[in-house]
Amino acid sequence: MQAHERIGFVGGGNMASAILGGLLRGGMDPAAVTVVEPHAPARAQLRATLGVQADALPVPALAGCAVVVWAVKPQQLQAAAQACAGRVAGALQLSIAAGIPCAAVARWTGAQRVVRAMPNTPALVGQGMTGLYADAAVGADDRARVARLLAPTGALLWVPREADLDAVTALSGSGPAYVFYLMEALVQAGAQMGLAPADALQLVGRTFAGAAAMALDSPEPLARLRERVTSPGGTTFAALEHLAQAGVAQQLGAAALRARQRAETLSRELVDSPT
C-alpha cells in the first residue's frame, strides 16, 4: 500500500476487526480505511474503537479504494460482491473467505486481480499467521502490496497451490480456536487443583507462548523438544501416557482434516453448485 491509498473492508465482524486492529497498531492511518457493515451498532463500535469510517452502503464507500478486503462469511460473499460488481473491479481484491476460490471472487466482482488470504485472529496483536495465494493474473507489484499491507498483522506465507489454503484454514485459520480450547481445559484443571483462575491462565498462556517460541526457534524436531521435558517415570510421562491412551494426537489430526473438508464443502456448496 502507498501512503495515499484507501482500503475498504466489506464486513466488519470478528476477522475484519482483528486485521484492522493489527494494521492500526502497525501505524496505518484510520482515515485511510472504510468498512462496509450492515449493522448500525457494529458500525458505531468500529468508529468508536478503531476510529475508522464505517458505512452501510457499499458502492459509494468503496469508490476510490485501491484494495477491497472481502471479510463477510463465505455464504454472504456472492451477494455482497455482486451488489457492487463492476464498481470495484479496478481495485485489488483481497478475499479472506474460507473455501471461496479466486476465480469465484473474480467472477462475482468483475475484477481480475484477486488475492486470497487466510488470516487468523492473533492478527489483532500483530502475532497472526496468514496464508496467501494469488494466481498468475496477479503481478509481483500486487503481491508485494498485499505483503506490505498485511505485514503488521504478523507472519505471511505464500502457498504454491490454491487448494493449500484449505489446509492453511484447517491449521492456522481455525487453529487459534483449538489453542483456546486446550487452554480452557488446562485452566479449568488448574482451578480444580486449587489455583486462582487468573494464575492458571498466566501459567497456561505463558507455557503455550514459550513452547511455541521455542519450537519456532529450534532446529530440533518437536519430538526431541517434547522428550526433553519428559523424565522417565516422571510427571510428564504420566500425562503423555494418558493422552496417548486417549488417542488425543489422532483426534487432533482428524479434527484438522474435518476443518479442511468443511472448506472444500463450502466451495462445492457455494461456488460449484448451480444457484
Ligand X SMILES: O=C(O)[C@@H]1CCC=N1
**Cβ closest to ligand X, residue 19 vs residue 98:** 98
Identify the residue among 24, 46, 80, 104 touching ligand NDP (CB under 6 A): 80
In angstroms, rounded to a whole number, what is the distance separating the alpha carbons of residues 118 and 206? 26
Q: Which stretch binds ligand X (CB under 6 A): 36-44, 167-175, 193-201, 234-242?
A: 167-175
**Cβ closest to ligand X, residue 78 vs residue 169:** 169
Q: What values do phi and psi take at 86, rounded to 5?
A: 85, -35
**Cβ closest to ligand X, residue 169 vs residue 267:** 169
Question: Considering CB distances under 5 to 8 angstroms, the limit depending on partner class, which of ligand NDP, ligand X, none binds residue 42?
Answer: ligand NDP
Q: What values do phi and psi take at 3, rounded to 5?
A: -55, -35
Cα dist from 45 to 11, 23, 57, 63, whole Å: 13, 17, 17, 23
- Positions 116 through 175 that interact with ligand NDP (CB under 6 A): 118-121, 173
Identify the residue among 98, 115, 167, 271 touching ligand NDP (CB under 6 A): 98
**Cβ closest to ligand NDP, residue 10 vs residue 146:** 10
- Positions 179 through 208 that interact with ligand X (CB under 6 A): none
Check binding of 22 to ligand X (CB under 6 A): no
Pairing of strands 114-118, 128-134: antiparallel
In angstroms, rounded to a whole number, what is the distance separating the alpha carbons of residues 241 and 225? 17
Of 25, 35, 32, the C-alpha closest to 123 is 25
- List strands edge to edge, sheet with 114-118: 53-55, 33-36, 6-10, 65-70, 92-95, 114-118, 128-134, 154-158
Q: How far is the CB of 169 from ligand X (least distance, A)?
A: 5
Contact 135, 160 (CB under 8 A): no
Identify the residue among 20, 32, 37, 46 touching ligand NDP (CB under 6 A): 37
Point out which residues bind ligand NDP (CB under 6 A).
10-16, 36-39, 42, 58, 71-74, 76, 79-80, 96-98, 118-121, 173
